[in-house]
């Protein structure tokens, strides 16, 4: 994602640092293709016989005849001490095949997203809640401190003032004026602590997200990133309070004699500069988060009546508490929604500084905060979601490349005729489904469809985390084993559903891309899961063994 924005700002900022992984020509074509993707809104037999296929039942084939997990069923799944029966096996089976009733999603999702262990009793979960609330509040305090610092820095820059600490390292450095304007000081008296713990808020993905519609959006992480592009796909940072130094710092030192001289002064000076640059990175994240938040649409409103009824006074207090600007054109519910988005996204940027904030992340948070009323719990649900999805936002693009390779492999194994056609069009790398991968089908499905798909996907991932997929779920495994990559099978299924059209009518990658973008609102999520099931059953072992 960040490489995209860097390429888009290269004309105005020719000296901005490039990604460490984009030196090759193939990487350059990658970046070009990404910009195209975001601006433009079976002949091979299956590995099992048709007779075998007839005996296999998809867990979603009768979804319309089933009811989602109900409040009564949910309560019946717990023992007297508030522990899920059988380690959560029955619970995950039900969610996987039926989804969750909207009235209990706020209770169920923290279990699906790993906030609460499936084997914990209620008393243990209550202790975890208390601890996680404190950790989130600590992150928010640090966010407000940095917001206030950035505001002071901007004001001093305006009057030409300077400020240095005793070690000689500059604590306040001139910052981008346009960025600072969007990071005004939040009044301490209107901090998030003033909001009630159960403050409800929702957001929906911005209609312009991922489209790079203006310069301010496109520089989301042009110079920002406390990202180590060589790191492995590890879980989020264990130290949420530490903002790591941007790897681009070394490059800046070579062209900045002042920085070089300060580097040679003393270890304390080095530490001061490191903190300074980390603060600058976070300042840029804060600015772009606010831009994205006020652009978020209101698709969530019909799905969260209580949150859409927030008072204007409460909405404005929340907006001021996070330093939100330019929101007078929004209804109170959308102001409140934007404020919650800002609070949680910038807390995540501190929690996981390797990823920070990147365009598209608000798309993923939006459904979560429409369902989860308390900010701290929504934050930890988002953290659980991002343990898998965070790799979509790595600067080195390893996560995205891996997923596109899997989609390509699925199509190749399932439909060699279609794959050969894609090869002729030089589209076998499946970059045309890039958007689907990055924001997990969020743009192609309605709000409710997105939630249904994600719940099934989360149930699969929860089963794998709990070790259920290899033991207690043996009967389910015979039908379709839980997989971390269910989304990719669904994406491949959406392409295979259009195989005839692609083969007979499309003669360029751009045409396939337009077809994929036109899927929005045209997909049946349960039919999609049915087809994905068939692909998992027939190809899972083959695909898994090749990666």
Q: How far is 332 from 287, CA to CA, in rounded Å?
A: 21
Find, among 301, 295, 337, the residue nearest to 318 by Cα. 337
pLDDT at 172: 30
Find, among 303, 306, 302, 332, the residue nearest to 317 by Cα. 332
* DSSP notation for 368-380: HHHH--SHHHHHH
pLDDT at 271: 60
Bridge partners, 100 (sequence order): 69
Residue with tokens 């997909």: 523
How many Cα atoms sit within 13 Å of 296 on the Cβ side? 37
CA distances from 28 to 22, 35, 423, 491, 512 (A): 6, 11, 20, 25, 21
* DSSP notation for 94-126: HHHHH-B-GGGHHHHHHHHTTSS-TT--HHHHH
Give me the CATH topology for the region 397-545: Cyclin A; domain 1 (1.10.472)
- Sign of the alpha-carbon dihedral angle for 396, 400, 402, 404: negative
Q: How far apart are the first and last CA of the chain?
A: 23
Residues in the chain: 547
Q: How far is 286 from 275, CA to CA, in rounded Å?
A: 16
Q: How far is 487 from 337, CA to CA, in rounded Å?
A: 27
323 sits in the region (left: phi over 0; alpha: psi -120 to 50; else beta) called left
pTM metric for this prediction: 0.70
Find, among 391, 413, 410, the residue nearest to 401 by Cα. 391
Burial degree of 235 (CB within 10 A; 0-12, 13-18, 19+):
exposed
Which alpha helices (H) appear in 296-374, and where do they start and end? Answer: 305-308, 312-321, 332-351, 361-371
Helix/strand/coil for 164: strand
Which alpha helices (H) appear in 12-61, and where do they start and end? Answer: 25-39, 50-55
DSSP 425: T
Q: How far is 536 from 547, CA to CA, in rounded Å?
A: 15
Structure tokens at 473: 């779920």
Which residues have CB under 8 Å from 178's CB, separation 6+? 216, 287
Helix/strand/coil for 149: helix
Helix/strand/coil for 163: strand
Which residues have CB under 8 Å from 42's CB, separation 6+? 414, 415, 416, 417, 418, 496, 499
pLDDT at 403: 95
- Consecutive 10-residue runs of the chain (547 residues): their mean pLDDT? 39 40 44 43 37 49 69 96 92 91 96 95 96 97 86 55 40 35 33 39 38 35 36 40 39 44 50 63 88 84 76 91 89 91 96 93 93 96 96 91 96 95 94 93 90 94 82 53 90 95 92 90 90 90 74
3-class DSSP string for 526-540: HHHHHHHHHHHHHHH
Find, among 206, 183, 514, the residue nearest to 360 by Cα. 206
Which residues have CB under 8 Å from 320's CB, separation 6+? 186, 187, 190
Q: How far is 346 from 537, CA to CA, in rounded Å?
A: 40
Asked whether 194 and 315 are in contact (CB, 8 A), the reply is: no
Q: How far is 62 from 64, CA to CA, in rounded Å?
A: 6
Q: Map out the domains of the chain as residue ranges.
A: 137-184+196-393, 397-545
């Amino acid at each position: 994602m960040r490489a995209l924005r860097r390429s888009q700002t290269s004309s105005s900022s020719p000296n901005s640092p490039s990604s460490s992984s984009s030196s090759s020509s193939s990487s350059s074509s990658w970046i070009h293709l990404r910009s195209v993707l975001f601006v433009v809104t079976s002949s091979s037999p299956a590995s099992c016989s048709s007779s075998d296929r007839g005996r296999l039942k998809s867990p979603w084939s009768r979804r319309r005849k089933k009811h989602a997990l109900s409040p009564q069923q949910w309560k019946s799944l717990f023992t007297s001490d508030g522990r899920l029966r059988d380690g959560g096996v029955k619970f995950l089976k039900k969610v996987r095949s039926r989804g969750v009733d909207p009235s209990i999603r706020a209770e169920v999702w923290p279990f699906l997203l790993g906030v609460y262990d499936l084997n914990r009793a209620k008393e243990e979960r209550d202790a975890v809640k208390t601890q996680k609330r404190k950790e989130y509040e600590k992150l928010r305090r640090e966010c407000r401190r940095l917001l206030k610092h950035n505001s002071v820095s901007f004001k001093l820059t305006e009057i030409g003032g300077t400020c240095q600490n005793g070690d000689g390292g500059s604590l306040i450095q001139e910052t981008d004026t346009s960025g600072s304007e969007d990071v005004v000081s939040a009044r301490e008296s209107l901090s998030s602590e003033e909001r009630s713990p159960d403050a409800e808020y929702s957001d929906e993905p911005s209609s312009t997200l991922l489209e790079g519609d203006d310069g301010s959006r496109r520089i989301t992480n042009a110079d920002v990133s406390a990202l180590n592009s060589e790191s492995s796909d590890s879980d989020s940072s264990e130290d949420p309070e530490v903002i790591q130094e941007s790897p681009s710092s070394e490059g800046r030192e070579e062209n900045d004699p002042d920085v070089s001289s300060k580097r040679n002064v003393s270890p304390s000076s080095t530490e001061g500069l490191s903190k300074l640059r980390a603060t600058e990175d976070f300042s840029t994240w804060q600015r772009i988060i606010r831009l994205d938040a006020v652009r978020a649409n209101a698709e969530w409103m019909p799905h969260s009546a209580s949150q859409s009824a927030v008072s204007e006074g409460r909405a404005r207090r929340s907006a001021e508490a996070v330093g939100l600007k330019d929101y007078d054109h929004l209804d109170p519910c959308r102001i409140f929604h934007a404020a919650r988005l800002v609070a949680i996204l910038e807390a995540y940027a501190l929690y996981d500084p390797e990823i920070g904030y990147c365009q598209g992340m608000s798309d993923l948070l939006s459904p979560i905060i429409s369902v989860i009323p308390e900010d701290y719990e929504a934050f930890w649900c988002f953290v659980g979601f991002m343990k898998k999805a965070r790799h979509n936002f790595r600067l080195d693009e390893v996560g995205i490349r891996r997923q596109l390779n899997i989609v390509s492999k699925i199509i190749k194994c399932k439909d060699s005729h279609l794959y050969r056609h894609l090869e002729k069009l030089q589209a076998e790398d499946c970059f045309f489904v890039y958007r689907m991968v990055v924001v997990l089908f969020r743009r192609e499905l309605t709000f409710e469809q997105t939630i249904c798909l994600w719940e099934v996907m989360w149930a699969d991932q929860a089963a794998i985390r709990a070790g259920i997929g290899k033991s207690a779920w043996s009967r389910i495994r015979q039908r379709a084993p839980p997989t971390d990559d269910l989304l990719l099978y669904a994406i491949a299924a959406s392409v295979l559903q259009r195989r005839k059209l692609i083969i007979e009518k499309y003669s360029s990658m751009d045409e396939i891309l337009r077809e994929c973008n036109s899927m929005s609102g045209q997909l049946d999520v349960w039919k999609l899961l049915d087809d994905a099931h068939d692909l998992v059953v027939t190809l899972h072992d083959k695909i898994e063994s090749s990666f």
